[in-house]
Amino acid sequence: MDPMTSKILIVDDKETNRHVLRIVLSKANEGYSVVEANSGPAALEAVEREQPDIILLDVIMPDMDGYEVCRRLKAHDKHRSIPILFITALDKTEDMVKCFSLGAADYIVKPINAEEVKTRVRAHLRIKRAEEERLQITNLEAVKNMVVTYNHNMNQPLMAAITYLEILLAQTDEEDKKHTTLLKIKAELAKITSILKKVQAIQELKRVDYVGSTQMIDLE
């Protein structure tokens, strides 16, 4: 995730509040892409449609409050990793505790401080990017280990089959070509065919896409 292309979803039923946050984020000079939602249901739709990198979420909204929005997003594997920053006028300790207990990444009290908002958004985007890179490395290591294992499991029987075929062919005379030895050769070829199918399955791994540009192994 490049901060120059980070997408931020602002959720607040008050247009003025959304406008202020949009101005603050534009002045961060990070090239953020900002989208807005004016209600809880609209926020859930926007998350599905826009796949934001971070969400700035108000608590008190009609129809569906910020608590419920957060609860639903954190219950979904697809959206669980999106950091949610609550921005609200609620300033009691129990309000903050409830937000964090629901999985919020941070809590900012209104009226907002522009520098505080910019700093916290930037920090949480960096944390998210670092976590994505860590997961990418873990996934690539897993693929690398799987390829190494497959390579070992296929190469040995494949080379053994080829060697055996060479021995059989060297021992074959004209009378035997259509009988016993030929049947043995066909059986060995069937083994090779089975192994090559596994090779084709590994080739499918090359179609796997990973976020970011880390290149640890060459699947080719």
pLDDT above 60 for 133: yes
The CATH homologous superfamily of the domain defined by 3-112: Response regulator (3.40.50.2300)
Other CB atoms within a 10 A radius of the CB of residue 107 amount to 20
CA 7 – CA 189 distance, rounded (Å): 55
* Pair 7, 50: CB distance under 8 Å: yes
Instruction: Give yes or no for residue 135 having a pLDDT over 70.
Output: yes
Rounded distance between C-alpha atoms, residue 28 and residue 186, angstroms: 70
Tell me what pLDDT residue 194 has: 74
Quote the percentage of the chain above a pLDDT of 70: 69
Q: Mean pLDDT of all residues in the chain? A: 81
Give the residue extent of every domain in the chain: 3-112, 135-207
pLDDT at 197 over 50: yes
Per-residue confidence at 100, pLDDT binned at 50, 70, 90? very high
At residue 28, φ and ψ (nearest 5 deg) are: -75, -15
Q: Strand, coil or helix: what is 85?
A: strand
pLDDT value of residue 164: 72
Residue 7: strand pairing partners: 33
Give Cα separations from 89 to 1, 86, 113, 186 (angstroms).
31, 10, 13, 78
Count Cα neighbours of 165 within 13 Å in the Cβ-side half-sphere: 14
Model confidence over 40-83: pLDDT tens digits?
999 999 999 999 999 999 999 998 999 999 999 999 988 999 99
What residues form DSSP beta bridges with 106?
A: 85
pLDDT at residue 97, as a whole number:
94
